[in-house]
Amino acid sequence: MKFGIFDQNDASGRPLHVQYEQRLELAEMYDQNGFHCYHLSEHHATPLSMGPSQSVFLSAVAQRTRKLKLCPLVYLLPIHHPVRLAEEICMLDQLSNGRFEFGVGRGVNPHELEALGFAPATAVGAYAEAYEILMKYFSSDVLNYPGKFWNIQNLPVTLKPYQTPHPPVWYAVATADSAVWPAQNRVNIICGGPEIKVREISDRYRQEASQGQTADQVHPLIGVWRYVVVADTDEAAMEIAEKAWPSFYDNFYKLWRMHGTEPERMKLSPHYAGMVASGHAVAGSPETVAHALTQKARAGNLNYLVSQFMFGNLPHEHAKRSVELFSRKVMPAIQTASQAWL
């Protein structure tokens, strides 16, 4: 069992330079306390992300950490020039001495694409083309790609990543059918949706991945992402979570509300207790959180648990305490319990 971090770096109400520094301090804690990877989302024109350039922020994280892997989850491929993105991936992989990984996706909020001048209807085609160019870049010395969205002719490839042939790839999965492509391509996955879907996704992934598998292949990570608050007591954890949640809730929905729409899949409760009830969040003492996350991991047959410890205007000191308790008491308990199914 491995443990990761998901961060949307949403608006906290604190000065932005302070928020950045606090996030970097937390990254140092993740690095020192045995977390596997730090995942950072990409959002634009919304307070859901105050760090819309993942590459810029992760270059700072790379210099403040030594073991922690770094992974945008995801790069919105339609809005990036694939050559420019490939070069950034190579730079980040070299700067981190091979600790960089990256997720790919086309974006779930059409209003973000529109804000950047990109037609949402073309996102699927642009995503597929950009991914092809990325993979071809990593394997080429001179890149040629006559595409619909990008036409690249005789481009010298002057940068290569630290890892060969390229850093590990990630994909966010919402349905069992969407697990087929990452399984066939040995791409790591994270689920963020309802718990009833998680086991369907992990079973389908393993079914597809087992075809043609060889003994020397590395087993990809199959994970779930949940909001997590740990405190000394259940009551204290819920009080902390409930106070911080309205701010995050507003950040999440602000751009949607501006356009009079709602997300199709991810729907949040206005109260943290509602997120706990739906299975998307956990709050409590170390014992309560360990029990809840063990059940989630066992039920989903997962080998990767990803926690979002910081959201909304949650105080920095509470986030640090949550990470401390999680790494010291929750992680060992889940590691021991996971031996029963991993």
**Tens-digit pLDDT profile for residues 97-143:** 999 999 999 999 999 999 999 999 999 999 999 999 999 999 999 99
Please tell me the predicted confidence (pLDDT) of residue 216: 52
pLDDT band for position 283 (cuts 50, 70, 90): very high
For residues 273-285, average pLDDT: 97
> Cα separation of 220 and 28, whole Å?
25
Structure tokens at 85: 């993105």
Please tell me the predicted confidence (pLDDT) of residue 19: 98
Domain regions of the chain by residue span: 2-73+168-338
Please tell me the predicted confidence (pLDDT) of residue 212: 65
Contact between residue 189 and residue 222 where contact means Cβ atoms under 8 Å apart: yes
> Cα separation of 113 and 150, whole Å?
17
pTM for the model? 0.96
Question: DSSP letter at 187?
Answer: -
Please tell me the predicted confidence (pLDDT) of residue 238: 98
For residues 188-212, average pLDDT: 91
Please tell me the predicted confidence (pLDDT) of residue 86: 98
Pick the more confident residue, 174 or 265: 174
Please tell me the predicted confidence (pLDDT) of residue 83: 98
88-111 CB burial, b ≥16 within 10 A, e <16: bbbbbbbebeebbbbbbbbbbbbb
Long-range CB contact pairs, 124-130, < 8 A, 24+: 125/149, 126/77, 126/78, 127/77, 127/78, 129/82, 130/77, 130/78, 130/80, 130/82, 130/85
> Cα separation of 172 and 164, whole Å?
23
Please tell me the predicted confidence (pLDDT) of residue 214: 55
Please tell me the predicted confidence (pLDDT) of residue 218: 64
pLDDT band for position 342 (cuts 50, 70, 90): confident
> Cα separation of 95 and 195, whole Å?
37
For residues 85-89, average pLDDT: 98
Task: CATH number for 2-73+168-338: choose from 3.20.20.30, 3.40.50.150, 3.40.50.2020, 1.10.240.10.
Answer: 3.20.20.30
- Indicate if the pLDDT at residue 215 is higher than 60: no
